[in-house]
Structure 1
């Protein structure tokens, strides 16, 4: 170290620490006059409760929920089949990571191609329908009425149909299944053929609005 730096370092090490000093109040201080946000919210809720508005809001929400359960939002982009269309659907997937059992032993290595149908077959056809179309409902009853096929609506009122026809109906919420299989029109049927699925769209005579 250079000789001239040593005295400077010694002086810095020995110097007394700076002391904090109160310089007093400068300028005018004003009280906070904005209302407390939590108090505003509490007052608003109290007012809604007292006027009965809370009960009315809850009832409207309940009625909307019941309406959505009875008649879910129709699946967008699905038309009535105008022509016959059929194609194979291979459900094989490629494992994105190693899959191990509870002892840590690798049972499926990353990159392995797995066909779910090899272990879990499709036990019943999946029949996609417009539940508001009488012709499609009649077609489904004629072809699958005495089978264990799963009737899946893309439009309509499943609970009302179950009550009227004494059979379970499902609904493709959000169109997840029709998107997965590439279905663009109904009625459509998904059935297993060996190690693949066969998807078929079949036109039927247009019927009136279903009564349920």
Structure 2
């Protein structure tokens, strides 16, 4: 029953989306020099656009990194009073720099101290072996996550900018906001978070104590930057364009209408069970019959579907769109020359017909004219005639 209900709701969303004129079907751009323009994504002639987007993303990444580094502004001294957790974890009073290179016993002890505390945050420079899953599993193992699931967990964040700005290359390092002057001070090689924070609160500004281990993780910002720089964007653009063109070439072909026909389709659906929101309030009762046409009608009063490779159907589309100027125009597949002619003659950028529409609207042939009458979808097919088939 639940599976059936989900399917029913999916159908309703699909139908309602189409009738509201916001179907998830990419609009076709002017077909003049391959597949170009922003309406269709990465097309045959869109290399410069893709590279421009990549350059913009790189600039945004750099700007974000610089902004994050500015949070830790000032010289990289041990006691410049700046909070290394600013904007990362606003409520943190203690920041602990760690690495997966530390012995599990030492790492576990520190993480256990910060368990369930929102005033303590742990920083990693990157991911263990540049693998998020491996890092996550390692942290779960040393915190006995499986057996302590109901307890609060330590807050661990990847913040390479903090490591770079403060010159942290060996860990653990504890930075804490002193209760005396509310400035931040640093303890390297802290035996425990409690001892480090206690010393800072007692007036010890900065010191080194205990053993430290080298930070083994690569700077995550550098990892991303290197991947962006070495990724073969031209090959990616070529694959994307080829996939898009292949999808458009396939389209959803319909046979040519051999005779004029007219039939109706009831788009109503009946809910097999109650539909409720997260709070249990009834939204739609079991047995309710919903007809999207009765509520909103067809967008622009009509939907026109043609094969753009057929000049006669383009002529029919021109006449029908003059009769229904606010209607929707769909094509069965991509045809560069035909689409160019269609756009020139109608001034409309068509949408691509998909299998969902064909199935739900029970389409049989092209050209087809879809209108609404008495709450039913009226489908008319016409054997192509230059005069418009009307």
The interval holding the TM-score normalised by the smaller chain is 0.5 to 0.7
TM superposition score normalised by structure 2: 0.35
**Aligned-pair distance for 1:106?**
1.9
Q: 1:185 to 1:162 in 2, by over 3 A?
A: closer
What is the match of residue 135 of structure 1? 312
What is the match of residue 177 of structure 1? 357
Query: Among 195, 198, 211, which residue is 2:375 paired with?
Result: 195
Residues 38-87 of structure 1, C-alpha deviations (whole Å, 9 max, x = no match): xxxxxxxxxxxxxxxx6774354144145347x442324x2111101111
Q: 1:177 to 1:161 in 2, by over 3 A?
A: farther
Instruction: Trace 1:1-80 onto structure 2 (pairs within 5 A).
Output: 57-58=235-236, 60-65=238-243, 67-68=245-246, 71-76=248-253, 78-80=254-256
CA distance in 1, matches of 2:278, 2:237: 49
| Larger-gyration structure (1/2) | 1
CA distance in 2, matches of 1:106, 1:89: 29
What is the match of residue 156 of structure 1? 334
Q: 1:164 to 1:68 in 2, by over 3 A?
A: farther
CA distance in 1, matches of 2:266, 2:373: 10
**Aligned-pair distance for 1:148?**
1.1
What is the match of residue 321 of structure 2? 144
Pair 1:111-2:266 in alignment: no
Question: Pairwise CA RMSD of aligned residues?
Answer: 3.2
Q: Which runs of 5+ in 2 are unaligned?
A: 1-231
**Aligned-pair distance for 1:200?**
0.9
Residues 6-27 of structure 1, C-alpha deviations (whole Å, 9 max, x = no match): xxxxxxxxxxxxxxxxxxxxxx
What is the match of residue 121 of structure 1? 297
Work out whether residues 161 and 169 of structure 1, in 8 Å CA contact, stay in contact via their aligned partners in 2.
no
Match of 1:80, SS state, is: coil
Q: Which has the higher strand share?
A: 1
Work out whether residues 265 and 379 of structure 2, in 8 Å CA contact, stay in contact via their aligned partners in 1.
yes
Q: 1:171 to 1:161 in 2, by over 3 A?
A: farther
**Aligned-pair distance for 1:103?**
5.8
Work out whether residues 91 and 196 of structure 1, in 8 Å CA contact, stay in contact via their aligned partners in 2.
yes
Q: 1:195 to 1:58 in 2, by over 3 A?
A: closer
Q: 1:202 to 1:162 in 2, by over 3 A?
A: closer
Q: Which runs of 5+ in 1 are unaligned?
A: 1-53, 207-212
Aligned length: 154
Residues 160-190 of structure 1, C-alpha deviations (whole Å, 9 max, x = no match): 46754431200113x2212222212100111
TM superposition score normalised by structure 1: 0.61
Select between 156-165 and 84-93 the one with higher mean Cα deviation.
Answer: 156-165
CA distance in 1, matches of 2:344, 2:243: 22
Q: 1:105 to 1:187 in 2, by over 3 A?
A: same
Work out whether residues 251 and 352 of structure 2, in 8 Å CA contact, stay in contact via their aligned partners in 1.
no
Residues 94-153 of structure 1, C-alpha deviations (whole Å, 9 max, x = no match): 013212367643242112222122322213311110011111011110122351111111
Match of 2:332, SS state, is: strand
Select between 124-133 and 176-185 the one with higher mean Cα deviation.
Answer: 176-185
